[in-house]
Every structure is written in C-alpha cells, then in structure tokens.
Amino acid sequence: MKALEQVILVDESDTMIGTAEKMKAHEDALLHRAFSVFIYRRVNHEIEILLQKRQIDKYHCGGLWTNTCCSHPRVGEETVAAGQRRLSEEMSLVLPLESIGKFLYKASFSNGLTEHEYDHVLLGEYDGIQPIILDPNEAEAYRWVTVALLEKELNALPEQFTPWFNLAFQFVLEKLCYSS
C-alpha cells in the first residue's frame, strides 16, 4: 500500500511546526510549505515563460494555467532540491534553480479544499536542449509565452490562471525584467 503524502506544516515565519497528510492539510486549510517553479528562456531579445495547464482531474484548479510546476517539499528535503525533483517528474527537465522570493497566501475552492501555503518561488533558465515531456497525471498541456503577452492575459483573463500564479509571477518579473 502506498504511503500517504505528507506536507510540512509551518508558522507564518516558515518555521516547521509539524507534518500532515497532504489532503488533510488542504481540507483543514493548514498552513504548509510549497514551491512554485518558473522556467524561462530568451528568444529574440524577449523573455518567455514556460507554463503548464494543470490536468483537468487535479484535486483543485484542474484545467487552469500555472507556472512550470509546483508542489510541496518532503520532510527533510531542501526546497530547491524539491523543486528540481518535481521539475524532472512533471516536465522531464533537469535544470538548476534559484530561490527568488517567498510569500504567504490562502485560496479556497468550491470543492471544499483550501490552499494555505508559504510558497517559495524558484527560477531556472531553459537550456534549449532537453525535450519537455509532460507527466499526463499532472499537466495536460504546456506553452511558452512572452512576459508581455502573459501580463496582458493575466489582466484580461485572470480566471484562466491558478490563484497563486500572479503572486508568484511578480517575483519573476522583478528578477528578470526589472533588475539592473
């Protein structure tokens, strides 16, 4: 029998205070550690972001566009290493990642689940070599989109994106577009 996946419960300073089964944490809106991975590439002097469309049957936000991948670190697993693991599992990419920020958010869904996460934003650059191969249990599609077009879509059609996406994307904008 497969063991139930555990998440790391944290306080508002991101200090570990315990663990909980993943679905229980989402049912009870327990604050837990998570990460959002963004992969980018430079094409013709523009920055493009790799998005995934969540598999329609995901436990929440199925069918919505989001960052390249996201998940939860395991107990004893460093957050960047967890991001690299999930990037490989979900998109078949093995790339270095850096932590560029973190934020706390809470979003409730019509199915009774709640995301209450201390989310670490991780960023990596696509090497242009590795093929992107989606895990069909996690994502049903992917696409590259320029930063300018993505900002327009977020303003015009925010309901097509996961609730954490725009919050995390602001860190990417600051790092890639506004740093000197």
- Residues labelled catalytic: 70, 117
Residue position matching structure tokens 């930063």: 147
Q: What's the token pair of residue 109?
A: 């869904």
Q: State residue 3 phi and psi, 5-degree precision.
A: -70, 145
Do residues 133 and 89 touch, judged by C-beta distance below 8 A? no
Question: In angstroms, what CA-CA distances link 79 with 53, 71, 177?
Answer: 23, 10, 24
For residue 36, the cross-strand partners are: 70, 121
How many residues would you count in the chain?
180
